[in-house]
Chain A
Amino acid sequence: MSFLGRGSSSQPSGGVNTAKIDLAITELDTVTDFFNRMVSSCHAKCISTRYAEPDLNKGENVCIDRCVAKFNEVQKKVGEKLQNRGAANAGG
């Protein structure tokens, strides 16, 4: 999924290089957006607003683990569906 390595090893002659760099930028934006959304959504769901102690409770820990796992799963499924739709559009 990551194009960052290959983008830097092609010859420095404009054209193909900028396309790959654009892809890399888009991917980085996507990942950052995904991470920020996950953090704010799981924080809103799992962490209570009453700050009684600095450490996370066991309940909050478990909730965060589950929330992150679900978010990842959904992200993968949505990505697959988008890819399939993109492939169907390109083919059909």
Chain B
Amino acid sequence: MSALPIRFPGGTPIWAPGKEPLPLGISEEERAQWEQMKKWESYTQMAMESCVAKTVLAGGAGFGIGAFFSLMSASFAYEDPYLRQQTQAGLKPHQKAREVFREMGKGMWSSGKGFGKVGALFAGIECVIEGYRAKNDIYNSVSAGFVAGGVLARNSGPKAAIGGGLAFAAFSAAIDLLFLRRETAEED
């Protein structure tokens, strides 16, 4: 009789509702709690895999990278004695320090915003395209790169926008082919 739970690999076990087996360590009294926890876990997983979450995370990562690069380059900019002489003519030391930090903060903020925009745009568009096509291949990144490049260069005229889109698409394709979709060696 095939109503018994089939116990070979790939078979479909069928349990009476409410009597599915609990993992080890969970008793019957905790069943409701366990199922509640599982439900909220599945909601969290759905939220984490959604396009909005991916866009926000990519934007945040872009902001961080932009701020970091700006921080590194700000120290080099400060080392220029001619610039220092011009902008900090007769200030006292603690005012000079405050000016330095303010400049650094402004640079970090603007650079971070730029990179964050790029990251969020690319990740969001790629997620939407992949969700629409229901396929996972390289055309998602290439198209997302093209659209993101076009959007970022939209104020410089149509030719510049298309050129920027093509450049970003090529860059994205290169990164994907060389780093993300590389065939790993078979491990024996």
Contact = CB atoms under 8 A, between A and B. Distances in A.
Interface of A: 24-25, 28-29, 31-32, 35-36, 46, 48, 52, 57-63, 66
Contacts of B127: 58
A29 B133 contact: no
Interface residues of B, number: 17
B49 A63 contact: no
24 contacts: A24-B3, A25-B1, A25-B2, A28-B2, A28-B14, A29-B2, A31-B14, A32-B2, A32-B12, A36-B12, A46-B134, A52-B184, A57-B130, A57-B136, A58-B127, A58-B130, A59-B130, A59-B133, A59-B134, A59-B140, A60-B134, A61-B49, A62-B131, A62-B134
A31 B2 CA distance: 11
Interface in B91-139: 127, 130-131, 133-136
A35 B51 CA distance: 29
Contacts of A29: 2
What are the nearest 9 A-B pairs in CB distance?
Answer: A59-B136, A63-B134, A57-B136, A62-B134, A59-B130, A59-B135, A58-B130, A32-B12, A28-B3
Contacts of A24: 3
Contacts of A32: 2, 12, 14
B50 to A, nearest CB: 9
The dominant DSSP class at the B interface is loop
Nearest to B13: A32
Nearest to B10: A36
Interface of B: 1-3, 12, 14, 49, 51, 127, 130-131, 133-136, 140, 181, 184
Contacts of B140: 59
A14 B60 CA distance: 69
Given A48-B136, A63-B134, A35 B12 contact: yes
Nearest to A31: B14
B137 to A, nearest CB: 8
Given A25-B3, A29-B2, A46-B134, A58 B49 contact: yes
Nearest to A61: B49
Contacts of B134: 46, 59-60, 62-63, 66
A39 to B, nearest CB: 8
Contacts of B184: 52
Indicate the member of A32, A52, A58 with the most B CB atoms within 10 Å: A58
B131 A58 contact: yes
Contacts of A59: 130-131, 133-136, 140
